[in-house]
Amino acid sequence: MDWPVDKSTTLLERAEIPEKSLRVPQLPDEPVSVVEASGAWVTANLSDLWMYRELLYFLTWRDLKVRYKQTVLGMAWALLQPLLMTMIFTIFLGRVVQVPSDNIPYPLFVYAGLLLWTFFSGAVTATGNSLVGNAPLITKVYFPRLIIPIAAITARLVDLGIAFLILAGMMIYYRAALTMQLLMVPPLVLLMVLLALGFGLWTSAVNVKYRDVGIALPVLIQLWMFASPVVYPLSLVPQRWQLAYSLNPVAGILEGFRSALFGKAFNWPTIILAAIFTLLLLVYATYAFRNRERVFADLI
């Protein structure tokens, strides 16, 4: 059908379409909502962590699968690592050098120290590099970034639980007495977990901008081991250096852990110092992590 030619009539009028319906809606000058990290470290978004708990589970399971994928022994390496180190230190330090062990069989003494230390060193190393290792995930999807280092710690806790089986067997073999002091084992393990989390949160946040941290971290961990009573007792340290040595939080935790296992007297000043240092480090590390969280995707 041909439209009549009428220069005074527009196409909109002939089609009977209101002019307002063809207008493109104007976008607001400012975004309606902005998704970014909160600057407040006090509100650590614990509710968000609970909402994303399934992601925490999958990240933990992924770390375990990646670490032991295509290995012949699989998760048995969690047992072999401290066990083989115990054998080496027993031969060279227990037999050759004859390092004292506070009247505890040296293999049992050194394995108890290596048990917690292996967890701590592995957790700190994995957590420190966790953000850099998950760069594609951080730059594409929003989720609480705290989940990544927490998942690294949780994966190492699985190894720690497996390694405890060997410790139980060794205590039965050497007929270690069971006392009520064993009730202090879970709090001391928790203290070591919090120390690893605090140190790992801080190093992971700094490592995003300064990659030197990831390179220097293994060296620092190795030096930290020999500065801690892992393969020797705290009593071997000269008395004049005891106070300064106790400022190392690992020293207090390891000594308390052995005292709880073998019924020795607790060195409460070193344990209290370790707990205070751990809590202060965790608070500061959480603040530093939350403060830098908003720029992770830009720097990584």
H or E element in which residue 270 lies? helix 268-292
Q: How far is CA 212 from CA 135, 137, 203, 208, 228, in A?
A: 17, 22, 10, 10, 24
Main-chain phi, psi angles of 79, to 5 degrees: -85, -40
pLDDT of residue 41: 47
- Judge if pTM exceeds 0.85: no
pLDDT tens-digit profile, the chain (300 residues): 455 545 544 444 544 545 544 455 565 566 555 555 554 444 446 677 778 788 888 888 888 887 777 666 667 777 778 888 888 988 888 888 888 888 899 999 999 999 999 999 999 999 988 888 888 888 887 778 889 899 999 989 988 988 898 999 999 999 988 889 999 999 999 999 999 999 999 999 888 888 888 888 989 999 999 899 999 998 888 888 888 888 899 999 999 999 999 999 999 999 999 999 999 999 999 988 888 887 776 666
pLDDT of residue 17: 47
pLDDT of residue 12: 42
pLDDT of residue 28: 59
Within 69-105, where are the H helices? 77-89
CA dihedral 267, 270, 271, 275 (to 10 degrees): 170
pLDDT of residue 177: 86
* CA 147 to centroid of chain Cα atoms: 10
